[in-house]
Amino acid sequence: MKKLTTAVATALLLAALPANAEPVQLSYKGIGLNGELTVPKGGSLGDGVVLITHGSLAHHEMEIVVATREALLERGIASLAISLGFNVDDRKGFYDCAVGPNTHKRYDAVGEIGAWVDWLKGRGTDRIAVMGHSAGGNQTAIYGAEHADPAVRAMLLLAPGSYDTPGQEASYKTRFGRDLSSVLEQARGMAPGELLEGVPFIRCESATVSAASFLSYYEPDLRGDTPSVLKKSPVPVLVIAGSEDKVVGDLRGSIAPQAGENLKFVLIEGADHFFLDLYMEDVADAIDEFLEERW
């Protein structure tokens, strides 16, 4: 028998698991936002829901998000995985760099997370854990730090990203062969709605992007420093890192020292940035244990 691909195996397993899964949509600021709600059979939203936000320019059906939903479901935990809108109506799949002009801002996500929290509360739950991976981890941390909602009982950050200006400038130069400082200088001299043409932007080699959008992603912003943001969190936080993660830097050095009553840090040995295969079981076990104490 041929070995099943990870995607096919995941799809078959999800189909076999006892659950009620359905696509859902939320109208927000004139666009439709998409998500996938998964509730164990016999369970309800009132039992608690993990609201999952993906990483940079991704979507709620990417492999790590599906694996997270699956592993939580195996433990009887409901989830709502969402796709950020990026100012695109009914967005599906990875963000299309050809869509333009790009007008979304890095922290639009904070408002969208809040809208989905309200959506869940409107459907009968006051037990919500907000979760984010990578860039979504930083955005989730900001939401948790800035919104003291009694229904949000916990934050779960999986390999959360941070944004440091020197590292960002070097990365931009290495990846795109252009100086970030020169594009920033150009954007600063423009009106917020004016458009930069043909500039590298996030993962896009060449994009049309508003000055305000470009500055929101590349201008220094204290909210980009996730370890500092976590110090302001009014809710308990679980941070999960992989020992072999080469994407988000040394979380063990930057976040683990904050561990205490309000913050738990878990390092999964051998895992990289995406925690695939058996490493996701370790992630889900850590989440399950953390939520048992708070739900």
pLDDT in tens, 142-184: 999 999 899 999 999 999 998 876 688 999 999 999 999 999 9
Residue 209 pLDDT > 70: yes
Is residue 11's pLDDT more than 60? no
pLDDT of the residue at 19? 64
| 43-66 per-position pLDDT tens digit | 999 999 999 999 999 999 999 999
Structure tokens at 195: 């458009």
pTM: 0.91
What's the pLDDT score for residue 168?
Answer: 87
Identify the H or E element spanning 237. strand 237-242
d(CA 274, CA 220) in angstroms, rounded, equals 27
% pLDDT > 70, the chain? 93
Residue-wise pLDDT tens digits, 65-118: 999 999 999 999 999 999 999 999 999 999 998 887 999 999 999 999 999 999
Which tokens is 2 given? Answer: 């041929």
Enclosing H/E stretch for 204: strand 204-210
Whether pLDDT at 17 is above 50: no
pLDDT at 142: 97
Query: In this structure, is residue 192 part of a structural domain?
Result: yes
Reported residue count of the chain is 295
The reply to whether 131 and 72 lie within a common domain is yes
8 has a pLDDT exceeding 80: no
CATH number for position 129: 3.40.50.1820
Question: Do 86 and 26 lie in a common domain?
Answer: yes
Residue 72's CB is within 10 A of a number of other CB atoms, namely 26
Average pLDDT, whole number, for the chain? 92
249 vs 263 pLDDT, higher one = 263
The model's confidence at residue 1, banded by pLDDT at 50, 70 and 90, is: very low
Element containing residue 22 per DSSP (H, E): strand 19-28
Same domain for 283 and 251: yes
| Residue pair 84/22 in contact by the 8 Å Cβ criterion | no
CB 159 within 8 A of CB 185: no
Domain count across the chain: 2
Q: Are residues 179 and 55 in the same domain?
A: no
Whether residues 125 and 212 fall in one domain: no
Inform me whether the pLDDT recorded for 2 exceeds 60.
no
Residue 207 has pLDDT above 80, yes or no: yes
Q: Which of 182, 199, 220 is the last residue of a domain?
A: 220
Residue 72 and residue 101 in contact, taking contact as beta carbons nearer than 8 Å: no
Q: Is 6 within a domain?
A: no
Whether 151 and 174 share a structural domain: no
pLDDT in tens, 117-136: 999 999 999 999 999 999 99
- Residue 5, domain member (yes or no): no
Whole-number pLDDT of residue 165: 65
Asked whether residue 256 falls in the same domain as residue 228, the answer is: yes
Q: Alpha carbon of 63 to those of 7, 108, 277: distances in Å?
A: 7, 23, 10
> Does position 14 have pLDDT exceeding 90, yes or no?
no
Q: Per-residue pLDDT for 3 more than 70?
A: no
Sorted by sequence, the CB contacts under 8 Å of residue 118 that are 6+ apart come out as none
| pLDDT exceeds 90 at position 272 | yes
Res 240 pLDDT > 90:
yes
SS3 at position 106 = coil
Tokens (6 digits) for 131: 């979760």
pLDDT of residue 15: 46
Residue 10 domain flag? no
Domain that holds residue 245: 18-95+106-163+222-292
